[in-house]
Structure formats: C-alpha cells, structure tokens
Amino acid sequence: MPIYAGLMSGTSMDGVEAVALQVDAAGMQVRGAVHVDYPSELSNRLHAAVADPAACNIDSLGALDAEVGEVFATAALRLLEASGLAASAVRAIGSHGQTLLHRPRAATPFTLQIGDANRIAERTGIDVIADFRRRDLAAGGEAAPLVPAFHAAAFGAAGESRAVVNIGGIGNVTLLHADGRVSGFDTGPGNCLMDLWVREHQDEPYDEDGQLAASGDVDARLLDLLLQEPFFALPPPKSTGRELFNRAWLQKKLDQQAAAVADVQATLCEFTAATIASAIAGAGLAPSQLLVCGGGAFNGELMRRLAARMPGVPVRHTGTAGIPPEQVEAALCAWLAHQFITGRPGNLVSVTGARGPRVLGALHRGGVTET
C-alpha cells in the first residue's frame, strides 16, 4: 500500500499544506495532514515579490527559494510525526513549491515556482519529486491548472456529470462529463482580491466566513467593471494568476467606481461567485453537483453566493466526497509524485493544451549516497 506525501502552498502564500496519501488499486485515502504557517516576515516578502517582480533581485530570489524550501521540509517532517509514519514508509514526496510568476502567454513563456527541493530531500531522506509545471509548458501547454487530472481520479463518477471548483487565491474548475471527458481551466480570482482587501483594511489574513462581505452591498457598476476583464472572454485552455489579478488591477477599477470598504468586499465576493458560475455555464455542463475545495469552501458568504448563482445544483465541499477541502491540492502533489514514480502522465491535454500527455516533475534523491 504505497504512501506518498504532498506539499503545497497556493497563491494565498500563507503556509504549506502537507498530506500523506495512500494510493492503491482500491483508490486513494488520506492518512494524515498538517499545515505549517510561513513566518510572517517570509510571507510578507513573498507577497512583495509577487506584487513587484522587478524589485525582487537575484539575491532576494535565491534567499526566498532557500527559505521556502526549509519551510516545506519542516512541513514534511511534521507530517511524518503527526501521521505516525517512518520516512521509510513514504515512497516519495511531491512538492509543488511556491508560485511567484506564471506567464504562459509571454513572448517567452515561463512559470516560476520556488522552494528548494534539495533541502526537502536532505532533511527527510525521502525521494522528492518537484518542478511539476515546466514540462507541460515545454510541451506547449499552459502548465495550469494541473488539478483536473487529480479531480477526475478522486471525484469522478461513471455516468454522472460533476463540476469541481478549487477556490484558492485563483479559482479553477474541473468539468467531469458523464461520458468520461474531462476539461478544466482557471476561472479568475478566487480569494486573492478578497484577501488583499481585508488585509489592507482590517489587518486580517482573510475574511473569516465572509463576514465583511456579508456586511456590505454589491456595487453593480463596480461588478460590471470587474467582469469586463478580457481574460474572461478567452477560450480554454487558459490560466492566470496574481500577475494579472492584483492590487494595481483592482485599483484601476476603483478609480472608475469608488465604493465603501464593505461594499467592495461584497462585490469581490460576488465577482468570484459570478465568474465560477459563468465558467461552468459557458462550458455547457449541467452538473449533478458542484464540489468545492480550497480555502473558499470555508467562506460561508461565498458559498451562499455561489449556490444562488447555480439554482438546482447542490453545492458541497469535497469532504463529502472523501477529501477535506483544505487537503485537495496537497493530495494532488502526492498523486503527481505517484504518477511520476509509476511512469504515468500527470497532465491532461484537454485542460492545458500541451502537445501530449507528459510525466511531470524531476527527481531529487533522498538519503545518502555511499562512496
């Protein structure tokens, strides 16, 4: 019964989720999970690097890569301890790293994840598979989202149409068609704009249960301005990130339509719900249920707004289907490590647009090499 560990930090950049995933012929089962926060000073530097990439010099980037790698290694060790697993019981660790930039449509496309996997391998003694995205990009793909392949394996049901939405900093949707087809793409902002707004005005990392959003009113004109972003008119495959949806982007909209703090938050919450619902409707899928994972699944106001925009469709979190919402992306990384070790592709051409299926990742050997 092979066990793989997965390490993930998303665009919220608040810390590392770590999951131990058992993968066998019967399916997948989470054997343990922990969360390790980034030190606040490190989190602030990561946010600053993403907000102003030109100000992040090579020395700063090198230090961030090393420090993030150390936090990931700590998360892996704490996972072993919390799960009661010896290092020898884990076949491999899948480490996503921390995305700083994702520019698949640049003149020279690239995606950049940091978090030195050598440090994870050295401190744990376990083989580490990392750098999952760049092979898909090299094959002409968007390198994102990668999670639909895992969603299909974990949440697919024969003969049933389902939609799975991951609401992290950025939202993405997986469309599981009744005939077995799988499609997916980034929908736009998930929590990122709401998080930065509440951080700026309430000095909190996120809007707990959507309380600030619930206290305000949606500004219809501001919502319309947000929805005019050309990204939403692009056909799949498509992906995005904080390089587009950031504080400067939001300020341009607010310069055209100012609103009270709570009303802006309410509008951003509605914006996320609207773009997700529109993405599903635009794909022509009538899902029997919508499964939600990521931090957005814990935002009650967002879940209510999403359900209101999808009448007749049960909206549930993925815990009802076997994997708690906060563990899905780390479980993806464990699954990608399994795919690498077994020589199987981790991407879906129908999602990323790559020239073909590819085994994703690079191996960093754990343990000590005898001389």
The answer to whether residue 371 scores a pLDDT higher than 60 is: no
* Residue 26 in tokens: 């019967």
| Rounded-to-integer distance, Cα 12 and Cα 7, Å | 15
The answer to whether residue 139 scores a pLDDT higher than 90 is: yes
The answer to whether residue 127 scores a pLDDT higher than 70 is: yes
Q: What is the pLDDT of residue 1?
A: 76
Q: What is the pLDDT of residues 202-255, one digit of tens each?
A: 999 999 999 999 999 999 999 999 999 999 999 999 999 989 999 999 999 999
Contacts of 96 (CB under 8 A, 6+ apart): 6, 7, 8, 9, 113, 115, 130, 132, 329, 332, 333
Residue pair 28/21 in contact by the 8 Å Cβ criterion: yes
Residue pair 290/313 in contact by the 8 Å Cβ criterion: yes
Q: How much of the chain exceeds pLDDT 90, in percent?
A: 94
Q: What is the pLDDT of residue 368?
A: 65
| Rounded-to-integer distance, Cα 10 and Cα 334, Å | 15
pTM: 0.94
25 — pLDDT class (breaks 50, 70, 90): confident
Q: What is the DSSP letter of 161?
A: -
The answer to whether residue 370 scores a pLDDT higher than 60 is: no
Q: What is the pLDDT of residue 11?
A: 84
The answer to whether residue 321 scores a pLDDT higher than 60 is: yes
DSSP codes, 15-58: EEEEEEEEEETTEEEEEEEEEEEPPHHHHHHHHHHHH-GGG--H
Domains of the chain in start order, with CATH, are 3-145+327-364 (3.30.420.40), 158-313 (3.30.420.40)
| DSSP H or E stretch at residue 192 | helix 192-202
Contacts of 244 (CB under 8 A, 6+ apart): 229, 231
